[in-house]
Amino acid sequence: EPEVTQTPSHQVTQMGQEVILRCVPISNHLYFYWYRQILGQKVEFLVSFYNNEISEKSEIFDDQFSVERPDGSNFTLKIRSTKLEDSAMYFCASSAYRGDTDTQYFGPGTRLTVL
């Protein structure tokens, strides 16, 4: 069964450093998403991406964040200058159709620890 994969599984970085989290969505999917979950808290939407552009973003997704689909398979989330409060699990998801009507398939997540 196709699945969303994410790398790395755990990323440790120093405050102020840039990090790139990588995701490989399911191959025939057209919509891509990033969510995050701070330890012990709920899953929060960050951004959705379709047709090579951001379609929606939350208040969390400020200028420090960016997303890119650099080739036909990868979908990345970049945090330019990490803060302590960016420590969280980051989940990538993809869907074949619009996310509100279709199933979003989530990856296993990347645990980001900012020291």
Partner 1 sequence: DAKTTQPNSMESNEEEPVHLPCNHSTISGTDYIHWYRQLPSQGPEYVIHGLTSNVNNRMASLAIAEDRKSSTLILHRATLRDAAVYYCILGTGNQFYFGTGTSLTVIP
Binding interface with partner 1 (CB under 8 A): 4, 31, 33, 35, 42-45, 48, 50, 55-56, 58, 91, 93, 98-101, 103-109
User: Toward partner 1, which CB reaches closer, 14 or 101?
Assistant: 101
User: Toward partner 1, which CB reaches closer, 79 or 109?
Assistant: 109
User: Toward partner 1, which CB reaches closer, 14 or 28?
Assistant: 28
For residue 109, is it left (φ>0), alpha (ψ between -120 and 50) or beta? left
For residue 86, which of 38, 50, 51, 54 has the smallest C-alpha distance?
38
* Least distance between partner 1 and beta carbon 11 (Å): 16
* Least distance between partner 1 and beta carbon 74 (Å): 18
* Least distance between partner 1 and beta carbon 93 (Å): 8
